[in-house]
Amino acid sequence: MRDFTIARRRMVEDQVIDRGVKDGRVIDAMLKVPRHKFVEEALEGKAYQDAPLPIGEKQTISQPYMVAFMSEALALDGSEKVLEIGTGSGYQAAVLALLAERVFSLERIPSLARRARKILDGCGFSKVNIRVADGTQGWQDMAPFDAIVVTAGAPEVPQDYLDQLAIGGRLVIPVGDRSSQVLLRITRTGAADYQEEQMLGCRFVPLIGRHGWKSENH
């Protein structure tokens, strides 16, 4: 069995630390999660490269830097309840599981949810809760959340996400058109008050659902 320890360490040094991620807990999590387990076996050798990779169903595992950046933007201390929109491969959820107390993840594609569940369990991340559902509506019966991270590009911020944030909670979400988005961090500062920050440009697969894009192409 191939040892990816050195490749993982180089990924963190070159793609995460050198690009400005400073949160020690995020860096440790990126060092611990075996990214190669979350891609298809044929792509294992590319798992630690500076790029997203296909995982089937027109979805991708995000670039390592983006996973680290978004995780740091959530400003987690280990006590939080976090909602992830778009389980995908399960990699981001695994990183979050090392950073938060409880992790809930929504995936609209059943085959991806099943595969992610199997990989997460096999890697010891069984505390991640996965539900197959329209992620654009959030997870109302488990709200409020201290942090919400969205791993797909939205045409606008769904109101359900804002409503399901706890006071002081942070929402990190890419918003824009299909070809490019801006990563936003929105902090709920009061019952009806929110503070928005623009963080960086990015490109994600589209957020599909009732409060997102209607399909892959529309």
Task: Find where tokens 């960086």 sit.
Answer: 200
Q: What is the 3-state secondary structure (H, E, C) of 180-195?
A: CEEEEEEEECCCCCEE
- The active-site residue out of 62, 71, 89, 105 is 62
Write the DSSP symbol of residue 161.
H
List, edge to edge, every strand of the sheet that includes 194-202: 128-132, 102-107, 81-85, 145-150, 165-176, 181-188, 194-202
- Burial grade of 42 (CB within 10 A; 0-12, 13-18, 19 or more): exposed
Q: How far apart are CA 208 and CA 82, in angstroms?
A: 20
Give residue 81's pLDDT: 98
pLDDT digit string, tens, across residues 31-88? 999 999 999 999 999 999 999 999 999 899 999 999 999 999 999 999 999 999 999 9
Contact call for residues 149 and 92 (beta carbons, < 8 A): yes
pLDDT digit string, tens, across residues 127-180? 999 999 999 999 999 999 999 999 999 999 999 999 999 999 999 999 999 999
Catalytic residue flag (residue 62): yes
- Whether 1 shows a pLDDT value over 70: the answer reads no
Give residue 215's pLDDT: 79
Q: How far apart are CA 162 and CA 188, in angstroms?
A: 8
Q: How far apart are CA 60 and CA 201, in angstroms?
A: 18
Give residue 217's pLDDT: 67
CATH topology (fold) of 5-202: Rossmann fold (3.40.50)
| DSSP H helix total and E strand total for the chain | 6, 9
pLDDT digit string, tens, across residues 180-216? 999 999 999 999 999 999 999 999 999 999 999 987 7
Give residue 2's pLDDT: 83
- Whether 218 shows a pLDDT value over 70: the answer reads no
Contact call for residues 136 and 156 (beta carbons, < 8 A): no
pLDDT digit string, tens, across residues 80-135? 999 999 999 999 999 999 999 999 999 999 999 999 999 999 999 999 999 999 99
Write down how long the chain is. Answer: 218
